[in-house]
Amino acid sequence: MSISSRFVLLVLLLSPVSGQFTVIGPQETVIAMLGGEATLSCHLSPQMDAKDMEVVWIHSKSLHLLHHYKNGQDYLKLQAKEYKGRTEFLHENISIGSVALRLRQMELSDEGMYRCLFQSPTAQHEAEFRVYVAVIGSPPHLYIKGQGNKTLRLTCTSMGWYPQPEVQWMKNEERSLTQDIMIKKRENDLFSVETSITVVTNCKVNASCFIWNPLLSHTFEASFSLPDNMFPDNSFWMVTGIVALNFIITGLSLFIFCGCKLKKAKGKIKTELEKTRGEYEKLKAECDMTKAELDITKVKLDETTNEFETYKKMWFFKR
């Protein structure tokens, strides 16, 4: 029998059949973090020894085999390739019919319905349950932009969420219904969110942007606060001025930083130049000394030449 035929036969065996026991899946919602692990637990009711039973886990949507246990050991010949090396059968309590499958390195594609099957020589039963995969995105960033007429546009952004995150603005401790929300799904199947509200600056403003994963309890918050009657006639321009001042301070800091870098570089060049100048002066002195020695040698050579000429003339007259 070919592998594909045996796999089809295995799938056919997963049809629920009444028997001497029932299979109960995880008692709590299974939520796994992307890249983390999930534990898929199943147990028999009533409790009984399952050492000699076959236990199978399958991803219901794709019908991919995650793990197969039979004859008292793992049987992974038909295991789908995307699960190889990622599963671990936990059977410490198999004598009372309680087992679990640990699935590591969770991927978004692992989300969905799963089936856990127990089969004995006389009966079989299965349980079906859902597994969720979750990702917590980046902490939100709050951007402020003046719009004129004493109003500000507050924009809150965050990225890297799964599933699609929930978003809510709170303004002066009340939910803000007037908000713009744009949620996009990126190429990696993770979601990014951008949400905005408009606030008036001639009154007290306490605004907060909340973003959270609907599967998890963790919530991110970004807040903005403007005191009541703070510069009542010019609050908008004051806030705008503060934003502009931040840009000026940032630019000035960058200018000072670059100036310090330039000064340091100039000092280094000056030091190198002085060092080079010292070496030049030393070489020049050595050159002058060598020239003087050459002049002395030339004088001695001229004297020797004259003496030679004198001896030459004396020798000529003697002949």
- Kindly report, residue by residue over 297-316, the tens digit of the pLDDT: 676 667 666 666 665 555 55
- Find where tokens 């050579």 sit: 301
CA 4 to chain centre: 40
* pLDDT, tens digit, 9 for 90 and up, residues 218-260: 899 998 887 655 444 444 445 555 545 444 544 454 455 455 5
In a 3-state reduction of DSSP, which class is residue 245? Answer: helix
Euclidean distance between CA atoms 31 and 28, whole angstroms: 9
Euclidean distance between CA atoms 208 and 196, whole angstroms: 11
Q: Which helix (H) or strand (E) holds 12?
A: helix 3-12
The CATH class of 141-230 is mainly beta
> Within the chain, which residues score under 70 in pLDDT?
1-19, 177-178, 227-270, 272-273, 276, 280, 283, 287-288, 290, 292-295, 297, 299-301, 303-319
Of 160, 38, 177, 22, the C-alpha closest to 97 is 22
Euclidean distance between CA atoms 2 and 8, whole angstroms: 10
Integer angstrom CA distances of residue 253 from 233, 250, 259, 264:
31, 5, 10, 16
The CATH class of 3-134 is mainly beta
Euclidean distance between CA atoms 78 and 103, whole angstroms: 17
Strand-strand pairing, 87-90 and 191-200: unpaired
- Region(s) of the chain under CATH 2.60.40.10: 3-134, 141-230
Q: Which residues make Cβ contacts (< 8 Å) with residue 72, sequence separation at least 6?
A: 51, 52
- Tell me the pTM: 0.63
Of 187, 200, 181, 188, the C-alpha closest to 140 is 181
Percent of the chain clearing pLDDT 70 (strictly above): 67
Which structure tokens are listed for 116?
A: 């856990």
